[in-house]
Every structure is written in C-alpha cells, then in structure tokens.
Structure 1
Amino acid sequence: MSLFNRSVRTGRASTGADLASRLDAVSKVYGRGAGAVTALDDVTLGIHRGTFTAVMGPSGSGKSTFLHCAAGLDRPTSGEVHLGGVSLAGLNEVRLTELRRSRVGFVFQSFNLMPSLTVEQNIDLPHRLSGGRAEHGWRREVIERLGLSDRLRHRPGQLSGGQQQRVAIARALVTRPDVLFADEPTGALDVRTAQQILALLRGAVDDMEQTVVMVTHDPVAASYADGVLFLTDGRIVDSMTGPGADRIAERMTRLEVRR
C-alpha cells in the first residue's frame, strides 16, 4: 500500500477508513489583488493511519501553512480538509476547537508548557480544558514510554529541554489523537536530545499505532519518517518512501537549485 494517497478528489466518499488526514484541492491565499500570496496551491493528499510523514521544502514553500491547514489551525481559502473522517468545512470556531482537542495533537519547537503547572498537570491539560478524563491505562502507558514517571511533580523550569519536549509529546498523545502534528519539534534541541525525541516519535507510530506528520528542514530528522513530502511554491512536487538522509538531502538540494 502506498504511504500517500494522492488521488483523492472532492465528491467521492468522505474518506477511507485508513486515512487519518485528507486534503481535497486545498489552497491558501494571503492578501488580495496584486499583493496576494499563494501559500498552498491546490493540494490534494491523504495520509494513512499509523504512518510517520515528514514534510520538507525550501524556505517559503508552504510547509507551515500546510500543517496549519491540515491541523485545523487555519482555514483554507478553498478546498476541504478532513480529520479522522470529519470534514472541517463549515464548522464554527467552538466546534472546531472541540474537534482539535479530541482528534489532534500538537508538538512545536517551542514547548508551549504552562510554567506554573506540574508535568502531570501539563499532560492532563487537554482533558481539563475539555471537561473529559484520560483513559487511565493509556495515560500511564504514555507517561511510562516517554520516561516521565519520576518527573510528574516537577515544573517545566526544573526540566531540560529534551524533558520538556517529552512532556509536550505526552500531552499531545494522551487524548489518542487521529494525527499528531509536529512543527520543527527538535529545532531547539542539541543533536543527541533531538535523536531521542525523534526515536520517541518513531516509537509512537511503531508501538502505539499513532499517526505523525512532522514539518522539518533537517534531512536526518526526516529520515526517521516512513515517507517524505516535498513542497515548492505551495505545491507537492515529489515524495519518497523510506529514504535515507543522504537521498533526502540530495533531493532538497535539487529543489533549491531549481528554485
């Protein structure tokens, strides 16, 4: 089975059961008239469940816009986005916020932890905000797999950068999201810690059957993924399945030269 479904078209069934995320002819334009900038240009794509996808491209290629639209953080100018089989089109802000809390996990370069809360409270924050309750067994498994069992009473300021990112990943996973979106999650970390975080994301896919979509500029980070999507000028121009860092770096160099 191909990692990416790039033949999905609006008008067919909402989504296949194996698709965690789907974009149908999605475009995003900022501004109007002569000053308009097209950040995404007619992107159609499906991401299979239980896969790890890296998104790469030159600066200004639309990577962050792709992530924001796919995660429901930003609305496309045209086209339609589905998360876990639910169309985001027409949802009001309240319903969209509820859907993001229940179906989407976020991990960013800046850890975005609440400094006044303990590790345990930060992990439980999504459920506290939604009024729900984490599944006890799953919550315990997430905390143990991420090596946080002995840090639950600490506050973020008492943790290293790598430990803080582990907390952010645990917070993203505890709701069992349809997709975990990560935007440069290792950009603020040293090489060794970055490798540990990438291994944790890889393990979330392999051992916990999660779906991860990660924006990165680093070919080594992208090599942890099952496949890589390459964007240029808001369009998906290429993809690779199971590539190594050298092949990814070579493809990125060709994109930069062509651009």
Structure 2
Amino acid sequence: MRLRSNRRQRSAAPSVAPAADSGLAVELRDVRRRYGRGAGTVHALAGLDLALPRGTFTAVMGPSGSGKSTFLQCAAGLDRPSEGSVRLGGTEITGMDENELTELRRSRLGFVFQAFNLLPSLTVEQNVLLPLRLAGHREDRRRAAEVLGRVGLADKAGRRPGELSGGQQQRVAVARALITSPDVIFADEPTGALDTRTAAEVLGLLRHAVDEAGATVVMVTHDPVAASWADRVLFLANGAFADHLERSPAARIAARMAALTSGASRSNVTAGAAA
C-alpha cells in the first residue's frame, strides 16, 4: 500500500479504457471533494492519494464528519470528486458518464451495506443473481448455488429475505457481492446492524473472500473489532489520511482511534475559539 495526503499533483487525463495492469485494485490521486461555494464551502476530501493492491482487505475509520462516506462514494464511482483521479482495477473512472459508471458498478464492483438492501419480493437465489441480470449476463444458477454454499446458505435459495435472520440476510448480501467476481467489494458498515457473533461470521466471509478467492475488500467501519479483520486500517480526519496501522488487534486500533478523535475535538474547539 502507498499512502499520502495533502500533496498537490497534476491529475491524469480521464480515460475510460483500461490501463496496463499495475496490480492495483484502487488508486486515488489527489482526490478532493467540495460541497457548497464561497464561505460555506465544505472540504469533505482534502487531497487523498492511495494505492491498494489486489487481494487485500482495507478498513477505513475516522471520527464523525471525517470524510469516510465521501471517500467510499468517490472510490466506488457513486459520487464524482471535485478534483483528482480514481482508478478501479486499472480503469480510469473519473471521466465516465453515468451509463458507463452504472455498467462498471454492475459488472466489476460488489457492494455490502449495513441495511442489506435485498429485494423482499425476490427469493434469496434471485437476489444473488440480480447483478448478473442487471448487467445483461446469463443468470448462472450454478454460480449462485456455489456462492450461497460458500456463505453457508445453500439450503435457503428458495426463501425470501423476510424469512431469514439479519445475519443470514447479510450473508446473502455478501453472496450477491461475490457473484460477478468483482474487482473490488466495497462494504459500508456491514456489521453495524448485527450482534457480535453474527458480525464475526460476516467478517470471516469477507476475510475468506480475500484470502481464498483473491478478492479486494474496502470497508468503512466505526468498529475496531471489525477493523481488526483487515490487513490494514486507514484513519481519516478532516478529509485527509491522518494515520494507518498494519494488521493490528482491536485494542490497538481503538486506542489509535480514541487519540485521533480526541485530537479532532481539540482542533474543533480551537477553531471555534479563533472564530
């Protein structure tokens, strides 16, 4: 992993054609995101540079308002940066139009959200197959059975989400994310609605996808225990990378997060006094 922040550099020219394979799954170059204008401008991202290799599990943490959600949205092509370049699997996505971005998200990215986002009227199998259907590909029921078996739900294919527990629904969401063998799986607080034991099961599935299937996972979380499953933890503060840890226990991650939050609070108090 290469990690830098708050460094001005010239962005690469947008291109929708795949670049030569660099072995990187996610690349951000001087990514900035602003909201509003004039005195009311909010700098959600303040110049992020990041390079994540394929087959890695990265957790992103930070205090409330640090830019975590904006980072995920820009990295996944759900929002456009105000400046800078984003590449996914070697493909420059910054200059893509909405149709191209939609196609990329359907065919090359996987998503796991806190709220599961399953369609209640569809069966488990149909929910898992949905990304293939939306991308215009053949609905491969054998592949669906394979990924459902991988998440321990081979016998639930004909059930509907409402018949499953929350943990089972999140495992369906993981299976859905895996169905297209995506370049990157983006997970947004995937354990936020789960109890401790079930959360560990879901995190174990994401870890297994990285270790055994070569997937790349980028997870935003507030939970140090969840972050401890990752290869590395990146800490965001005020829209910039403030720190990182390599494969660390939950207690160390929590201590680093507490120090970061305390520092951010002191900065806000100082800024308010100056104003």
Q: Output the TM-score relative to the length of structure 1.
A: 0.94
Aligned to 1:212: 217
Q: Does 1:117 align with 2:122?
A: yes
2:184 aligned residue (175, 179, 182): 179
Q: Does 1:143 align with 2:140?
A: no
Q: State the structure with more CA Rg.
A: 2
Where does 1:68-147 land on structure 2 (aligned, <5 Å)? 68-133=73-138, 138-147=143-152
Give aligned-pair identity as a percent.
Answer: 60
Q: CA deviation at 1:49?
A: 0.4
Aligned to 1:193: 198
Report if aligned partners of 1:184, 1:217 keep a CA contact under 8 Å in 2. Answer: yes
Query: How far apart, in 2, do the equivalents of 1:26 and 1:11 lie?
Result: 11
Query: How far apart, in 2, do the equivalents of 1:82 and 1:146 lie?
Result: 29
Paired AA for residue 142 in structure 1: V
Which stretch of the first structure deviates more once superposed, 58-67 or 124-133?
124-133
Aligned to 1:163: 168
Report if aligned partners of 2:125, 2:144 keep a CA contact under 8 Å in 1. Answer: no
Paired AA for residue 115 in structure 1: P
How many residue pairs align between the two structures?
256
Runs of 4+ in 1 over 4 A off after TM superposition: 7-16, 134-138
Query: How far apart, in 1, do the equivalents of 2:88 and 2:12 lie?
Result: 16
The alignment's C-alpha RMSD in Å is: 1.8
Q: CA deviation at 1:138?
A: 4.7
Paired AA for residue 147 in structure 2: V
Query: How far apart, in 1, do the equivalents of 2:120 and 2:143 lie?
Result: 25
Aligned to 1:5: 2
1:64 aligned residue (62, 69, 86): 69
Query: How far apart, in 2, do the equivalents of 1:204 and 1:126 lie?
Result: 18
* Partner secondary structure for residue 213 of structure 2: coil
Unaligned runs of 5+ in 1: none
Report if aligned partners of 1:5, 1:48 keep a CA contact under 8 Å in 2. Answer: no
Report if aligned partners of 1:21, 1:46 keep a CA contact under 8 Å in 2. Answer: yes
Q: Output the TM-score relative to the length of structure 2.
A: 0.89
Q: CA deviation at 1:241?
A: 0.8
Query: How far apart, in 1, do the equivalents of 2:76 and 2:20 lie?
Result: 16
Deviation per CA, 1:115-138, whole angstroms, max 9, x where unpaired? 000000000001111111256665
Query: How far apart, in 2, do the equivalents of 1:137 and 1:6 lie?
Result: 40
Residues 203 and 134 (structure 1), Cα distance of their counterparts in 2 relative to 1, 3 Å cut: farther
Unaligned runs of 5+ in 2: 265-275
Paired AA for residue 91 in structure 1: M
Paired AA for residue 99 in structure 1: L
